[in-house]
Amino acid sequence: MRERTKNRNDKAMKESPSRREALKRIGATAAVAVGAGALATLRWDRHGQAREASSQRHAIKDFRVPPRTDLPTMAVAKRGTDPNSLTRAAIDALGGMSRFVAKGDVVTIKPNVGWDRSPMHAANTNPEVVASVVRACYEAGAKHVIVTDYSCNEVQRSFQRSGIWKAAYEAGAEVLLPAEHQFRTVAVGGTVLGEWPVLRPIIDADKVINVPIAKHHSLARFTGCMKNWYGLIGGRRNRLHQDINTSIADLAAFIRPTLTIIDAVRVLVRNGPQGGNIDDTREMNTVIATLDEIAGDTYACELIGENPERVGYLRLGQQRGIGTMNLKQVQIREV
């Protein structure tokens, strides 16, 4: 299996997809997404909640790995400017990807691919960071790696212009664009979120890795680890903005990832989450790997100049026991 994965990666690296090929492949999936996605939206608009024909509701497992006292909770890599090297350094400082991914695992990686923006705009996760995580998973023995997100802008443009489709594909991942059949209704069990459609690749994975970008958010003040989970659900997501802090806390309590890797190579400090002006970005050349999403968000908030105490969902998440905002209680290793 390891040799077959290696051959797959070697072939992908040698046969980089052309723009025409990329658009063709994305378009084929997106055609389903557009038609089926519209139907899904209509179902939500009419009934207020998504419904499967089977009317079955499924639970989701806890994807976390056991803690280790000999390793830090968070690693911050900020020596150098190469996104791949920074990502590897952060992962290695937590014990390496083999601590999180076992041979034969199916791994789903959830970057932020929300917007039709280029990497220079810092609205989406850096594609090199995503590709580095994909390669690390295969090297640890993963059988299959999926990269997916439910974009806010048109999905094929977002995946293409962000550079994430090409980078993840070349690293050997399956890039999955959401369609109606790829969602399953589950009981989220939150204060705001009851039953909601969730991406099947998240539910069915053996391991889940959250790979957000740190950036400003006009409504929530900051978006990073916890807010990135908006992209795993379908339905009428605009309804969640009515109580955005509670909605984000609900999602973070629902999905407990194996590992979180925060891209702060280039951050968006103003006019987020969509951005669009390079002058609103700042190079930080930092990648954070963490087992505590709230601690990770607290650290990343400061990188974009935001006071974490003003971010309501961080306080709610801490109250729910998801993690801590007190970085003095977190073992952090800088590399």
In the prediction, which pLDDT does 27 show? Answer: 44
Q: Where in 149-291 does DSSP place strands (E)?
A: 174-176, 183-187, 195-199, 207-211, 213-217, 221-223, 259-268, 281-290
DSSP letters, 118-139, are -GGGTSS--HHHHHHHHHHHHH
Question: Based on the number of CB atoms within 10 Å of its own CB, is 23 exposed (0-12), middle (13-18) or buried (19 or more)?
Answer: middle
Handedness of CA 188, 190, 194, 197 (dihedral sign): negative
Beta-sheet pairing, 74-77 with 281-290 = antiparallel
* pLDDT tens sequence across 290-331: 999 999 999 999 999 999 999 999 999 999 999 999 999 999
Q: Which of the two residues, 26 and 275, has the higher pLDDT score?
A: 275
In the prediction, which pLDDT does 40 show? Answer: 31
What predicted TM-score, i.e. pTM, was given to this entire model? 0.84
Q: What percent of the chain has pLDDT over 70?
A: 82
Residue for token digits 């499924």?
Answer: 58
Q: Is the pLDDT of residue 44 over 80?
A: no
Name the token pair of 322: 């998801």
Mean pLDDT, rounded, of the chain: 87
CA separation for the pair 324, 292 (Å, rounded): 7
